[in-house]
Amino acid sequence: MEVKAFPMNGGDGAYSYTKNSHYQRAASYVAKEMIEEAIADKFDVTSLSSSSNTIRIADLGCSVGPNTFITMQNLIESMERKRHSQDCTKMTEFHLFFNDHASNDFNTLFNSLPLGRHYFAAGVPGSFHGRLFPKSSLHFVHSSYALQWLSKVPEDLLDKSSPAWNKGRIHYTNASEQVANAYANQFAKDMEVFLDARADEIAVGGMMVVIMPALPDGVRPSQIMSGLFYDFLEQSVVDMVKTGSISEAEVDSFNLPLYAPTPKVMTQLVQSNGGFSIERMELTDPSSKIVGPLNIPAVVMHLRAGLEGIFTKHFGSEIIDELYERTLDKSAEFSSRLESCCKATQLFLVLKRK
Q: Does residue 179 contact residue 252 with C-beta atoms inside 8 Å?
A: no
Q: Are 100 and 64 in contact (CB under 8 A)?
A: yes
Counting the structural domains of the chain, the total is 1
Asked if residue 12 belongs to a domain, the reply is: no
Residue 212 covered by a domain:
yes
Which tens digit of pLDDT belongs to each residue from 189-217? Answer: 999 999 999 999 999 999 999 999 999 99
Q: Which residue has the higher pLDDT, 152 or 52?
A: 152
Gyration radius of the chain's alpha carbons: 20
Q: What is the CATH number of the domain that holds 222?
A: 3.40.50.150
The pLDDT mean for the chain works out to 88
Asked, for residue 330, whether it belongs to a domain, the answer is yes
* 190 within domain boundaries: yes
Is residue 234 domain-resident? Answer: yes
Share above pLDDT 70 across residues of the chain, in percent, rounded to a whole number: 90
Backbone angles phi, psi at 279, to 5 degrees: -90, -30
Does a structural domain hold residue 55? Answer: yes
Phi and psi at residue 25, to the nearest 5°: -65, -45
Boundaries of domain holding 258:
17-353
Q: Are 139 and 203 in contact (CB under 8 A)?
A: yes
Whether 152 maps to a domain, the answer reads yes
**What string of DSSP letters covers 115-168?**
TT-SSEEEEEES-TTS--S-TT-EEEEEEES-TTB-SB--GGGG-TTSTT--TT
Nearest to 189 by CA among 144, 153, 230, 145: 153
pLDDT of residue 116: 85
pLDDT value at position 257? 95
Q: In this predicted structure, which of 14-18, 71-75, 153-157, 252-256 has the lowest mean pLDDT? A: 14-18
Q: Residue 307: inside a domain, yes or no?
A: yes
Tell me how crowded residue 163 is: count the other CB atoms within 10 A of its CB: 12
Q: Which is higher by pLDDT, 304 or 142? A: 142
Read off the pTM.
0.92
Alpha-carbon span 147 to 349, nearest angstrom: 12
Amino acid at 245: S
